[in-house]
Each structure stands twice: as structure tokens, then as C-alpha cells.
Chain A
Amino acid sequence: MTNMIFQDLITNVMNTLGRLKKPAQVLVKFGIIAILIVHYGILFLHQLNENPIQHEYKYKLHSYVDPFFSQAWTLFAPNPINTNMSLLMRFNYHIEDSTSHETEWLDITEPLIKDRKENFWSPAQRISKFTQSCMSNVNDNHRLILEQITNVDSLAKDTIKAKSFYKNALMTTYGHKSLLQYSKYIARSYFSENNIQVERVEIRYRILNAKFPRFSKRDEDYYNLNNYAFNEITSDYYLIKNIFYNYGE
């Protein structure tokens, strides 16, 4: 008897659900479409140029988009890279007898470019991308910090204060931190290859921006460096710790 009642109940529920099935499906469909419209609406707003609405919801937009739906479609835009950036590193190291030595400037970029040219697919591409991103980040921040120094009177008039401000501001940037971290990788391979036991290592890096001939001078010899315009950013010496893996610390 109980069984019969239970079966009837299930049949009734299923029939009711069956009748509701179509409207429910339509409802779900419209629900998904609505969610997608909102999703792409947010992405659209986030991607647009700065405007008052974007400004109003700036943080909300960022928190929705990053990191799951981050959109950065600006390869070679608004303007493509138009200078050859080179990364150079130099180490000042102390060996066991506490004597100090300094290496030559090591060109980090050239071997990566060579590797990429020689191989259609190469892991060097990723390292190259990494160093490019770091250098761009340092270049951009260098420009911004200098702008800030020029705009603030107390900094513009006091060279020592400005230098200290510059150094502190640059030290907080991702590009600078990552370059110091990357220098450990370079130091590791350099000292291993040259069989040098180091006690203490300091590093300074140089970003060399070489502007090759502009379009109007396209017939000039590309490989003649006299046709280039150069500028550079050279860091101070920074102490680097834990060059070799030290897990568990």
C-alpha cells in the first residue's frame, strides 16, 4: 500500500517536472545568456579606453577580470617596440681569501637571440620574453619615477633626496626584483662554469636601449652601430643571497 502511494507520488512529481521541463530549460538558457552578457559586458568595459564609467568601477572591474579572465591584447600596440633592448650584468664577488673581484659586463640578451634564431622552437623564447618584460617594466618605471621627481619640487631641488627616492621606488618594482632574482640564475651558471667558489656576490645590471635607424632612414646600414641612438639605465650594486638552492629555509 505504502509502495503504491510512493510510486504514485513519484509518477506525479515526474509528470509535473515533465510539464515544467521545457519552460525550465528555456529559463536556464536565458539565465546562461544573461550571465554571459554580463561577463562580456564587464570585459568590454574593462578593455575600453579610460572613461568615466570605467573609472567609477575600476577596482570592481579589476577584481572580476584578474586573474581568471585577464585580457591583455596589446602585443605591438599601441606602438610596437622600436628599440633593441639589451640586458648586461656584472658581478662583484669575494672569494675565500676575502679578495674582491669584478667580472666584465656579461651580455645576457645576445645568446638568447642567437638561440632563437638557430632554432625554430626553443625554450630560450620564454627566457627572452621574461627578460624583455623585466626590462620594459624597469624602463617604464624609470620614466615614471623621473617624471615624479621632476614634478615634486622638494625632490627636484635636492639631488641626494631624489637619488634616494629613485632607488627606493625602483626597488619596489617587479621588473627590478625579477632582474635581481634572474641574476642568481646567471651567477649560478657563471661561477659553476668558471669553477669559482664565491663567498659574497653583488650584482649590477645595465639596460641598454639602442634605437636603430627610423623608417625615414631605412636605407642606412642596420648593422652599423654609428647609425643608432643609445641610452642606458645602470643600477647600483646589490647584494644577492642564496645563489645556490637552499631548500627548507
Chain B
Amino acid sequence: MANKYSLGLTITRILICFIIIKNMCFYLPLAEDYFGLNGIFPYENYIEQMNFYGLKFLTYPYHLPHFPFIFILTIILLATLYMLAIGGRFVGVMLYFTIIILKIRNGFILDGSDNVIQVVLPFLVLADNLDHFRYFKKKENMISNFISKYSVIFTYAIMIQVCFVYLFTGLAKHEGELWRNGTAVYYTMRVRDFMATNWNIPLTRNHYFVVILTYFTMFWELAFPFLVWFKKTKFWVFTGGFFLHVGIWFFMRIDNFSWVMLSTYFVFITNEEFLRFQNKKLKVFIDSWCPICRKFGNKIKNVDFLNLIVLEDIRNSKIISKELRNKGLLSMASIDDKGKSSFGFDSILRIAIRIPVLWLVVPILLLLKLTKIGNYVYEELAVKRTIIPIHCNEDCKIKTF
């Protein structure tokens, strides 16, 4: 029986392998300094730790010249193979153990993201994440078939682990005085190591900004483990998580943790939900006599990675009513999967919602919509747009689905 989460598991596998490869590429030039005999974490402490954990058999000879370099290359190779599903679960298990061996050598350079990868990977290997994005065709074997029967259980294990991360970080924050009094974000954004932009200081002067974000972070983390299980609340929780993690990355340059956590969200999405999402296509009607509109349409299509935008020339469209056509010629029309039509700035907002690279500007667009500034600016531009009422040659073609 196929796992109903197989698509999400595949995306998580690809993203996590990509993050591992990226990290290892960073380690490579400093391999000896991070992990070698004279590495920045004392070698004798590493040996001590291995003995303490009773893991002498996993001790890697980091003290030999070039071995740290070879070891990191091995992890890159394993992660690449696993990303392409070559070698199946065996490669996954190998990857897991190599990561553990590396972690124990120098735990001080690792961060929360390495920890998440380490605890998620064993269950990811057991869950069926190898159905899609394969370099070779899947071969059936007894062990694999046996484990696959229980794949959904391991998928839930990943979900529970992700919930644990948020629940315990939320609970830990709840104990902190600075989180409870609503000022924690002020300190996190101003501490020199995490002050990534020049906006951090002016933004944290505003007490509304600080207090709202502090409480949002804490309550969102505490709410995640409870709301993520319900269809109605799941995607709202993910949206909050997206803005939280992207914000952390942008303002504090904590990248890995943000990306790893976001990549685990896909595990929660069923194949059915992915397909339903694919049906949420938006038909956008472009005026082919307007060069700016054509340019806009082509640009949108270039970044429409989810393939959710369908462009159609409003002047030649046969599916649009006369009334809609006349209105659409004045301001850009769009029709969603439920047949609901929107015009002008509303169409732009709907387009932005369907294109992940534009999600960062969605809050600004929402604000412009609420204040009606967006509609005003759009109308100004739409009225003043150039219209060339001649038959188009091939240069004015817009990409259509």
C-alpha cells in the first residue's frame, strides 16, 4: 500500500539532503581545522566521548592526514545518492551514521538544524520517501516491502518529532522572563552576532513590533503541535511558520534551522492535498495589445514554479463573457478554480499568493489592499498603459499553459 504522504516525504528528503550537501561543502575547506588531529575541538575529548558513549566501534581515524576531508566527501556522496534514491534505505542508514560520527567529533560547531536532521533522518529512512524523484526505477525486495507496510507509522513519528521541537522550545521560552514580558525579540535582534540588517535597530525601537513578535513566536510555537493535525488549521500554522523562519533568516541570518524546519512541513501534507493544490489554478487574462501587460505576463510565467497560473489573451478568449471582457480590458481579470472572478489589484494579490518567491511581499500587498492604496496605484497605471491596437507578431506572444 502506497504511503499517502509519499510526495511530501520525497520533498523533505530532497531538501534535507540538499542542506546536508551545502553544509558539507562549507566544511570542506576547513575540514582539518574543524575535525582533524589539531582541530578546534580537542581530539582527546573526542576519544573520551566515544568511550563514554560506548561507541568505540564508531571511532573514525580523524587523526590521520586528509581523513577528515575524505570523510566529508563521503557524506556529500552519500547525501547525493540518497537525494536521488540510489542505494535506497541502505544509503540512508549509512548517511545517518556518518552524520552521527561527524557530530560527535565537534558538536560545538553544530546548530539546531543538525540536531533536527539527526533525529528526523532515521524515521525518514524507514518511511517510504523513495517513491518519487528516483534516478533508477524502484526494485522490489523483501525487506523494503516489509518496512513499506509500516511506512505511515514512521511518517507520524517524524511529525511527532517536529511537534516535539516546537512544543519544547515554546515551553522553554515560556519559562524565560524576557519572553513572558514581551521583550525577547528586542534582545535577539540586537545581539551583535545575530544583527544581520541595519533595520534591526530602528525596528526594535518600536515597542509594538517587539511585543507582538515576541508573543507571536512563543504562542505560535506552543500552538503548532496542536493545530497542525487539523486540515482547517494546518496551512495557517504553516503560513505562520514560513514567515517566522524566513524572518529569522533575514533579520538574524540563522539559515539552516529555518530551512530544515520548513522542509519538514511537507511531511504533513498528503498526496491528495498536493494534487488539490495543483487544481487551484488561476486563469489570468492578459491584454495582448498592451506591451507592459505582456511583459508582466511573461515575467509571472517565468517564476510560476508551481505551475498554478494560466495565461490567456483576453482579446481572443472564448471562455470569457462579454461583460467580464469589457471589465477585464480596463483592469486585469482573473478567474480561480471555483469560477470567482477578480480584477486589477485583487488579481495581482491572487497571483502573488500562488507564486512562492512572491510570498515575502504578500503582507505588503495585503496592506496595500486594505488601505486601498494598491487599487489606486493600479488604476493609475492601468489607465495610463500603452495600447497598440495592431495584430501581434510572434514577439508579443505570451506564454500560455
Contact = CB atoms under 8 A, between A and B. Distances in A.
Contact of B191 (A81, A120, A185): A81
Q: Which of A40, A78, A121, A181 has the most CB of B within 10 A?
A: A78
A92 interface: no
Contacts of A128: 193
B169 A75 contact: yes
A67 B103 contact: yes
Nearest to B185: A80
Contact of B41 (A49, A83, A120, A181): A181
A78 B108 contact: no
Given A32-B150, A33-B153, A73 B204 contact: no
A235 interface: no
Nearest to B201: A222
A120 B188 CA distance: 18
Interface string A90-105: 0000000000000000
Contacts of B34: 126
Given A33-B153, A120-B253, A177-B42, A218 B108 contact: no
B136 interface: no
B38 interface: yes
Nearest to A127: B109
A218 B205 contact: yes
Contacts of A127: 30, 40, 109
- Secondary structure type dominating chain B contacts: helix
B23 to A, nearest CB: 8
Contacts of A142: none
A130 B186 contact: no
Interface string B148-190: 0110011001001000111011001111111100011011101
A47 B164 contact: yes
B272 interface: no
A110 to B, nearest CB: 9
A66 interface: yes
Interface string A35-79: 010011001100101000000000000000011111111111111
Given A181-B40, A185-B33, A78 B153 contact: no
Contact of B168 (A32, A39, A47, A181): A47
B255 A40 contact: no
Contact of A80 (B27, B38, B166, B187): B187
Given A120-B253, A129-B109, A77 B191 contact: no
A194 to B, nearest CB: 19
Given A76-B184, A126-B27, A222-B190, A215 B115 contact: no
Contacts of A237: none
A138 to B, nearest CB: 12
A47 B171 CA distance: 10
A246 B65 CA distance: 9
Interface residues on A, range: 35 or more
Q: Which of B166, B169, B254 has the most CB of A within 10 A?
A: B169
Contacts of B118: 68, 70
A224 interface: no
A218 B205 CA distance: 6
Contacts of B210: 215
A39 B158 CA distance: 12
B164 A125 contact: no
A245 interface: yes
B253 A80 contact: no
A73 B191 CA distance: 20
Nearest to B153: A32
A71 B168 contact: yes
Contact of A129 (B37, B108, B119, B191): B108
Nearest to A222: B201
Interface of A: 25, 28-29, 32-33, 36, 39-40, 43-44, 47, 49, 66-85, 113, 116-117, 120-123, 125-130, 132-134, 174, 177-178, 181-182, 184-185, 212, 215, 218-219, 222, 242, 245-247
25 contacts: A29-B153, A33-B153, A36-B153, A69-B119, A71-B119, A71-B165, A76-B173, A78-B174, A78-B176, A80-B188, A83-B191, A84-B192, A84-B193, A120-B255, A123-B27, A123-B29, A125-B253, A126-B26, A126-B34, A127-B30, A127-B40, A177-B42, A178-B40, A184-B38, A245-B36
